[in-house]
Amino acid sequence: MAIKRASQKAKSDNVFGHRRKQAKMFRAELYARVSTNDQQTLAMQNRAMREYAARRGWTIALQVREVGSGAAKRQAREKLLEAARRRDIDVVLVWRLDRWGRSVTDLLATLQELKHLGVGFVSLTEALDLTTPAGRAMAGLLAIFAEFEREILRERTRAGLAQARQNGVRLGRPITAGWHTPEIRKLYRDGVAKAEIARRLKIGRTSVRRILA
C-alpha cells in the first residue's frame, strides 16, 4: 500500500511526462511611507500590503517604514534598494506609486534598476504588477510620461528665462566684488568708511577689506 501511494505521488508530480516545477516562494519587501502630517495611514498601508503578500503566498523578508516630506531624500528606500542589489529580495511591494517615487522620472529610474536586478515591483492602488507581462507593458508607458515631465520642466525653464529677460533681470553668474575694485578704491580715497562702501555697492565687508588690503 505504501508503494502504491508513493507511485501515485510520483504521478501527481509529473505533467505529460515532465516533472512539475515547484512554485517559487517570493521574498517580498514591503515599503510604506507617509508624510509627517499623515502618519495615521501607516497602519492601513502595512495591513493592506501584508494581506496581499499572504494571498500571493509571498514571504515577507523585510518591512520598511518611512516618515518625511516628499522632497526629502528617502533613506529607508535606499536601504531597500541595497537589499535588492544584494539579491536579498525578489519583489518590492508598495501601497501607492507616490509613496515610492518623488517624481515620474525618479519612479522610472528606480523601476528600471529593479528590472535590471531581476526584482519585481507591485503597487496595490494602481494595480501595477511588474512581475507580469501586462505590468511590464505598463512600465513602458511610464517612460513616456517621464519624458513628458522632463519636457514640461524644460518648457517652464525656458519660459521663465524669457520672462526674466523681458523684465530686465540680469541672468548668469552674479557680478563679483572684483568688478567694483576701481569704485571701492575711489570711495575709500574720498574718505568713505569701508562699511559704507559695502552698503552702497551691496557687497560684503570682507570683500571690501580684501580689495583695500
pLDDT digits (tens, 9 = 90+) for 163-176: 767 776 665 555 56
Question: How crowded is residue 106: how many other Cβ atoms within 10 Å of its Cβ?
Answer: 15
Q: For residues 102 and 96, give the distance between their C-alpha atoms in angstroms, rounded to a whole number.
A: 12
State which residues of the chain have pLDDT below 70.
1-24, 37-38, 69-73, 137, 139-153, 164, 168-178
User: What are φ and ψ of residue 136, in 5° steps?
Assistant: -65, -30
Q: Which of 7, 35, 69, 123 is catalytic?
A: 35
Could you tell me where the DSSP H helices lie in 71-103? 75-85, 97-100
pLDDT at 152: 64
pLDDT at 190: 85
pLDDT at 2: 44
pLDDT at 89: 92
Has this prediction a pTM greater than 0.85? no
Distances (CA, A) of 135 to 72, 126, 152: 28, 10, 26
Closest CA to 113 of 135, 130, 132, 94: 130
pLDDT at 47: 92
pLDDT, tens only, 25-50: 789 999 988 877 667 788 889 999 99
Is 35 considered catalytic here?
yes
pLDDT at 27: 92
Beta bridge partners of 66: 33
